[in-house]
Amino acid sequence: MSLVKANLQMIADKPSRSDSVLRSSTTTKDEFDLLSCKYDSWYESAKGRMYDRLEKKAIGRYLPSSANGKRLLEVGCGTGHWSRFFSEYGFEVTGVDTSERMINIARNKNIPNTSFQIADGHHLPFKNGSFNITAAITALEFVSDAEAVIREMIRCTRQPRGQLLVGVLNAQARLNRNRKQRPDSLYAKARLFSPSRLKQLLEPFGQLAMVTAGFVPNQKLFLPLAPLFDTVGRFFHIPYGAFIAAEVKL
């Protein structure tokens, strides 16, 4: 257990700056278009696959026991990586994004029970209450007005008994702070969220549940132990995992 705690401390490495300092201008649609062809390459690396596994486990804890043909809207779907996850779970998925190139890549994946279209999360082209669940996974960091997007997502969600799912990059995690510091990085302009800031954003809209995940060690030798580190991090409510998953019951 001492080894686990030592590695969690290295992963956490509490930041010296508040997440308000980390905020800057949003990443543009053109920047996502340029990066679209290599966007999925992160998931091809060993570390990327491990983060993906832990992030999906965190989001999965908030999914219903059975999708049973329920309709799910994914805002900021990108190349359809998470759309495939939701489709395989059993949802009828609609994915939207402002990047035409990313939408084209997503469409070419031919994900079952899934459709994609170009749309802006600030102005969603759907009627009120069109979906059982609306989701935004690592998307709110790149919009100009996160609260406006959340309000639009909620408008499109059936109430009562609708559900909002959000996954964001944690401003207090070393991995994300390092990403922010690289000027050529996709994340350089992202508005990252701390757990407290995400809570402040989501809590007014319904019953909120949150978990911090993504406790992955930097050392390749310890990478297979990441699920254990993740379990310990969540058990002790350590707020420095790389990913925050949240659910709002409407």
Integer Cα distance of 211 and 247 in angstroms: 9
Q: Which domain holds residue 186?
A: 2-249
How many angstroms separate the CA atoms of 160 and 62, rounded?
Answer: 17
Residue 113 has phi, psi (to 5 degrees) of 55, 35
CA distances 63 to 15, 18, 44, 135, 246, Å, are: 31, 31, 25, 11, 11
- For the chain (length 250 residues), average pLDDT per consecutive 10? 44 37 43 59 86 96 92 97 97 96 95 97 97 97 96 96 96 86 78 95 97 91 92 90 96
Q: What's the pTM? A: 0.86
Alpha helices in the chain (DSSP H): 2-12, 19-22, 29-35, 46-60, 81-89, 100-108, 146-155, 174-181, 195-202, 226-235
CATH code for the domain in which residue 135 is found: 3.40.50.150
Question: Given this model, what pLDDT does residue 5 score?
Answer: 42
How many CB atoms are closer than 10 A to CB 116? 24
Q: Is 151 helix (H, G, I), strand (E, B) or coil?
A: helix
> Which pLDDT score is estimated for 7?
47
Q: What is the DSSP letter of 237?
A: T
Number of separate domains in the chain: 1
Residue 170 is predicted with a pLDDT of: 95
| Calpha distance 72→51 (Å, rounded) | 23
Torsion of CA 187, 188, 190, 194, to 10 degrees: 90
DSSP assignment of 161-208 equals S-EEEEEEEBTTSHHHHHHHH-TTSTTTT---B-HHHHHHHHGGGSEE
DSSP 201-219: HHGGGSEEEEEEE----SS
> Exposed e or buried b for every residue in 90-114, given b needs 16+ CB within 10 A?
bbbbbbbbbbebbbebbbeeebebb
Instruction: Count CB atoms within 10 A of the CB of residue 213.
Output: 24
